[in-house]
Amino acid sequence: MNFLRSSLPLLLVSLSAAACENGSGTSTGTASDTSTATDGATDPTTGNVAPTTTQTTEEPTVGTGTVGTDSTATTTPEPTSTTTQGVDTTTSEATSTSTSDPSETTTGETTTTTTGETTTTGDTSTGTTGEPASDIEIVITADNAYGFAYGTEDDISMYWGGIENTTAGQIFNCGEGPELYVVPYEEADNASFLYIVAWADSSVTQGVLARFRRKDGGGNFGEDVFTGTEGWEVCATGVDYQPGSGGPTLQVINEHIGKCNAGALDPNTTSVGWVDDVGTQYGAVAFGEDNTTPYNGGPMAGNEFPLVCPMDMPAEAKWMWFDWDPGNVQPPQSPFLWPGGGGNPDHQFLIFRFAAELVPIPM
């Protein structure tokens, strides 16, 4: 296969198209029905695009919010930068390893996509984790949109974004739902932090769900780490992007990482800086239900989401988002339920990060 690559490759595999129990078919829950998303939303830029498509993503020209004391103010455009993704998709009958159990294999139509961000920022060799070389495997889904990245505490060196889910199936179903990434050990050794950048439509529910683990060349895996594992931090930037916009560029994200590190964001519309699950008066990481709670007919606090394909996403993974008012967001409210009203009450877009050294190596 002839893949289009950048100098720092990352492999993304669209997970097996075979249907699975409790995760197949079209999801009918309104929690993920993105028919209320911004008109003109595009298909995800990775995994669901036509073969050999190269797409250029620029800073959105229209936003619905900005960092400032008034979230309803006219958006001030962020500095413009251009990032280019190269995508080469090959579809074939193949045998792929199930992500839920390394010993299981499924045979079906497997789509393999190699994506490369040709724009990099900062020093891409800023040190190592000191651990034995091992790939890092990541499975992610989001309601509605996200980008995956790795880098240092100070900035992101490589960014793949953004996946913008516009149907329930693209979030929850086997085959079209979660995306699988593999960071090769050559690059994983330089990644001190793993990042998820997230944004959502202003409707019904929002959250991200993920599993991280290291693997060696012999097919052995280290202990799983999930959204819901202690150690996650989030910075709520207060700059609102809607699905279909393409989300923030690498330059914009790195600018906000610097502001988050300095604790220099507006306290009225952001988290000011990084917060964890303990939180501050400006917000906290919110951990929600795990992937074992079937949908009970409609979104409600504690049961906001249908099950995500269990072949792809382990039961222990918990939905994660930002709690913009800790202590006061109580049932029937939830950080995962859109509170209604105008503006940007949950202070999106969100930057989540997790120290790579906390992902255990295979023993």
Q: What is the DSSP string of 113-160?
A: EEEEE----S-S-----SSPP-EEEEEEEEESEEEEEEE-SS-EEEEE
Helix (H) or strand (E) holding 250: helix 250-262
> Each residue's pLDDT tens digit in the chain (363 positions)?
222 223 333 444 444 333 333 333 333 333 333 333 333 322 323 322 222 222 223 332 222 333 333 333 333 333 333 322 322 222 333 223 333 333 333 333 323 333 333 333 444 333 334 455 689 999 999 999 999 999 999 999 889 888 999 999 999 999 999 999 998 888 888 889 999 999 999 899 999 999 999 998 778 899 999 999 999 999 999 999 999 999 999 999 999 999 999 999 999 999 999 999 999 999 999 999 999 998 888 899 999 999 999 999 999 999 999 999 998 999 999 999 998 888 898 999 999 999 999 999 888
Q: What are the phi and psi torsion angles at 55 (to 5°)?
A: -120, 135
Half-sphere exposure of 287 (CA within 13 A, CB side): 18
Tokens of 69: 């004391």
Amino acid at 324: W
Q: What's the confidence (pLDDT) of residue 296?
A: 85
Q: What's the confidence (pLDDT) of residue 132?
A: 55
Distance CA 176, CA 167 (A): 10
Q: What are the phi and psi torsion angles at 289 (to 5°)?
A: -70, 150
Helix (H) or strand (E) holding 357: none
What residues contact 49, with CB distance under 8 A and at least 6 apart? Answer: 43, 55, 87, 89
Rg, Å, the chain Cα set: 19
Distance CA 303, CA 293 (A): 7
The pTM assigned to this predicted structure is 0.69
According to DSSP, the residues that pair with 55 across neighbouring strands are 85
Distance CA 308, CA 296 (A): 14
Torsion sign, CA atoms 187, 189, 192, 196: positive
Beta strand 54-58 with 135-143 is unpaired
> What's the residue count for the chain?
363
Amino acid at 229: T
Q: What's the confidence (pLDDT) of residue 60?
A: 28
Q: What's the confidence (pLDDT) of residue 111?
A: 31
**Cβ–Cβ < 8 Å for 117, 173:** no
Cis peptide before 261 (omega within 30 of 0): no
**DSSP-based three-state secondary structure for 303:** strand
**Cβ–Cβ < 8 Å for 67, 101:** no
**DSSP-based three-state secondary structure for 256:** helix
Q: What's the confidence (pLDDT) of residue 160?
A: 87
Distance CA 214, CA 256 (A): 28
Note the Cα 207 to chain centre separation in Å. 9
What residues contact 111, with CB distance under 8 A and at least 6 apart? Answer: 13, 14, 17, 47, 89, 90, 91
